Structure 1
């Protein structure tokens, strides 16, 4: 008799194989039975597209560069209020130094009807434990992780590939030369810290101890735009909570740079517990400045509308 563990592994294998076949099909087929120009992410009908287009802003400034770094008054004060920063540093002067050190360009602006970039957004939920999603995650073009989420020792469930890691000073970790460091700045001091870790290495304190230096490739640094954070908060979250979580920002970031988005490691475990796959202690899904319940509803809606594929870790 086949036991439940064997059935689970067979189901995961079938899911991985099916997804890889779908990805290959997307890359070689125009799916003309739906639209002449669609090559991937073709499942959305007109109602789904309407819901999505009411929230998605294709012209949003995703990352900082010289052309878009100036902030309007409303964006500046919304952003400055996120952590009640007391610093008197001049934002424009800090950004000028910042963009002299790191790539000053618009990233991933090559969108076209013929592009089919697949991305995995990998959260840190304990529902990844025992999921066997590793091969599926690693099969994506981009693998976006956040904060300290490790891969060593967890490869079978979370994969080993990381192309982008979203961090802020308080969650920084070392990265290898294949990974893009994506800074999620909540304050001017975060921008100054990014400068410091590659130059003077003198900043080791924000509202807590932070690493004065980390291993990362300076040529692969990206900085998320404060206006992008505000757009996510207002357009996607309808101003619920104080500001979006790192996970939710990472997911919307993926929607802007990828054509197909698969989401892993979000939400509770099958038993309803909230914890990290690499830690045992629990946490509150709705704690802190984020409205976790509302974020979860939006993510579920994106899945229902066929704009992302959500993997829960169980069947």
Structure 2
């Protein structure tokens, strides 16, 4: 009996030792979740590990590395999950899969509704990328305004550009977009690509005044303007020298909507560029620079008319401050424009209904999907963004049924002065914050695909 007890004690001791040994091994060699290859996961995620970012060292090359790692280390994971922004009666569908609005429910009912769009944050499938790229965006169900049988939205799905296009990306931001959850998600992106550098109170004070359908619809007055037309026709006018002597003014003014940007000098050039402006795209910085640089050539500020809408491309808190002042008819509270009267720029009849502001998700999407430049691999990637003209043209692509583009760069750009209003020839300038040659290539692609009609002096340039 004693021998039996000794044997059981020995066996028990051995088992205990083995358990302790296995526990030690498990503690010492337990693999880190952050070392797993996220490409093996069916859902793309953004790791919060700095070590994981080191695998992207080919894109993180300069003194921004530490900043990017700090951004990646922030606890943003929860904010990046797909969640509804509002409390809609029916959740938005994934923007890649399709439109949740059933055609059978009636096109007329859909196009006339003023109900606010339903929103969520969605992330399209794709390879894992550096945190500063942020190729995942809010998705909104915005019903179509027209019954156009052959609009851009249907044609682009059959083109080679279909993989880049997100039908439900919000073009404009407005009151229902500003939540703490969205702020946490977007504050990691600086400049025009997010809300970095903008405090939440400033953001809230500005966007809460953009609270009507006029603020989230680009073509907010379509019902009164369509004149029995099934398709919205938009002319997007750049300031390129190719327009000088073009005599395209009457054609441009014949569209339902006319988009212009920055130093758009009109007086004296109506025969070539037209006289109407329904949408004027700018940032506060480009507005002030244009007034300084082109004042002597006739640019004294944005076009002012009863039909003109002002579309801010925000890249700084000064844009939000000017927007708030313009909508409330007060002086700018702070920043470089402190004390300035916004009616000086937008006229005394400006109101919140005439103001719009691009959504940072939309601008980041344009950069990532349409204008993915090699600049993003180099030292200037923190300042790189689509040019103001590019944002305007691609916004029209996402808002209009038919788009004609005038005054944009074409392969023979060296034949023309930088601007149509230049008194003497000025060579086209290139800057580190834009990739104008890439933009030119995209315009050619859109033209060849039949998505945009691009004005060119020499059609053989396409061959």
TM range (shorter): 0.7 to 0.9
Structure 2 runs not aligned, ≥5 long:
1-146, 223-228, 288-300, 376-383
Query: In 1, Cα distance between the equivalents of 2:457 and 2:335?
Result: 37
Q: Deviations over 1:18-38 (max 9, x none)?
A: xxxxxxxxxxxxxxxxxxx86
**1:160, CA displacement in angstroms?**
0.6
| Matching residue of 1:69 | 178
| Highest RCO, 1 vs 2 (Cα 8 Å, sep ≥ 6) | 1
Structure 1 runs not aligned, ≥5 long:
1-36
**1:210, CA displacement in angstroms?**
11
Q: Could you say if the C-alpha distance between residues 210 and 283 of structure 1 is closer, same or farther in structure 2, counting changes exceeding 3 Å?
A: farther
**Out of 217, 237, 257, which is 1:107 matched to?**
217
Query: In 2, Cα distance between the equivalents of 1:224 and 1:252?
Result: 12
| Matching residue of 1:221 | 355
**1:109, CA displacement in angstroms?**
8.1
| Matching residue of 1:7 | none
| 1:200 matches 2:324 | no
Give the 5 Å matches for 1:2-151: 39-41=149-151, 49-70=158-179, 71=182, 73=184, 75-80=186-191, 89-90=198-199, 92-105=200-213, 106-108=216-218, 115-151=230-266
CA contact 2:194–2:360 (8 Å) conserved in 1: no
**1:98, CA displacement in angstroms?**
1.4
Query: In 1, Cα distance between the equivalents of 2:192 and 2:407?
Result: 30
| Matching residue of 1:272 | 415
| 1:179 matches 2:290 | no
Query: In 2, Cα distance between the equivalents of 1:187 and 1:225?
Result: 13
CA contact 2:234–2:258 (8 Å) conserved in 1: yes
Moved over 6 A (4+): 81-85
Query: In 2, Cα distance between the equivalents of 1:232 and 1:274?
Result: 27
Query: In 2, Cα distance between the equivalents of 1:81 and 1:144?
Result: 20
| Matching residue of 2:320 | 191
Query: In 1, Cα distance between the equivalents of 2:233 and 2:206?
Result: 30
CA contact 1:202–1:212 (8 Å) conserved in 2: no
**1:50, CA displacement in angstroms?**
4.0
What is the TM-score normalised by the length of structure 2?
Answer: 0.52
User: Aligned residue pairs: how many?
Assistant: 271
CA contact 2:178–2:207 (8 Å) conserved in 1: no
**Out of 252, 255, 274, which is 2:397 matched to?**
255
Which 10-residue stretch deviates more, 250-259 or 70-79? 70-79
Q: Could you say if the C-alpha distance between residues 288 and 203 of structure 1 is closer, same or farther in structure 2, counting changes exceeding 3 Å?
A: farther
Q: Give the greater-gyration-radius structure (CA).
A: 2
SS of 2:160's partner is helix
Query: In 2, Cα distance between the equivalents of 1:284 and 1:271?
Result: 7
Q: Deviations over 1:48-95 (max 9, x none)?
A: 72422211111111111122234365643223487998x5x51x3223
**1:162, CA displacement in angstroms?**
0.7
| Matching residue of 2:6 | none
**1:122, CA displacement in angstroms?**
0.1
Aligned CA RMSD, in angstroms, stands at 3.3
CA contact 1:204–1:210 (8 Å) conserved in 2: no
What is the TM-score normalised by the length of structure 1?
Answer: 0.75
| Matching residue of 1:303 | 447
| Matching residue of 2:81 | none
Query: In 1, Cα distance between the equivalents of 2:416 and 2:323?
Result: 34
**1:289, CA displacement in angstroms?**
0.4
